[in-house]
Amino acid sequence: MACFLVPLAEGVALTAAKPLLKKNGLSTRLGDLQKMLFGGSFLLGVEHVYHGEIVFYPPFLSAMNNPEDTAQMLHEMATVGTAMALCVTLVWAILCLVAKKRASNTQSEETKHRRRAKTILHVALGAAVMFGVDGAFALLS
């Protein structure tokens, strides 16, 4: 119902903390994580609009109309949303390790076309992880 809000909140928090992390030298590849979180959240939001879980009038989340549905929505955010955020962050960490290993093996200059393709790949990967987690929880329930 609103599980995509947890990775979105992580992306917003990361964006807010990025200047502080950059100041301390910890900002390597954070842009990739932001793309994965925001891209996946956007695509899941579109899917939720399609299924009528997000509406364009207040309270915007259809689950907010009924207190029973609100409790279910909060539970889904705590379980599915947290799992999505953790999985996307874990996949990003693995990508960082692989990229670091590859960078030590070969030094190549990235072209503009290649950077654009990587951006699309990061958004698609973030969405795929989120949809996968959402689907896994749907099968389990």
pLDDT tens track for 8-62: 999 999 999 988 888 776 677 898 999 999 999 999 999 999 999 999 988 888 8
Could you report the per-residue pLDDT of 82-112, keeping only the tens digit for each? 999 999 999 999 988 888 887 776 655 557 7
Between helix 5-23 and helix 30-50 the angle, nearest 10°, is: 160
How is residue 55 written in tokens? 């509406």
What pLDDT sits at residue 25? 65
How far is the C-alpha of 82 from the C-alpha of 72, rounded, in Å? 15
Nearest to 87 by CA among 140, 32, 131: 131
The residues, any chain, with a CB within 8 Å of residue 92's CB and separated by 6 or more, are 29, 32, 33, 36
Q: What is the pTM of this model?
A: 0.83
Give the whole-angstrom CA distance, residue 12 versus residue 24.
Answer: 19
What mean pLDDT value characterizes the chain?
87
Helix (H, G, I), strand (E, B) or coil at 111: coil
Q: Alpha-carbon distance 5 to 78, whole Å?
A: 10
Residue 54, classed as helix, strand or coil, is strand
Cβ neighbourhood burial of 53 (10 Å; 0-12, 13-18, 19+): middle
Measured CA to CA, the distance from residue 9 to residue 4 in angstroms comes to 9
Assess contact for 84 and 7: CB atoms under 8 A: yes
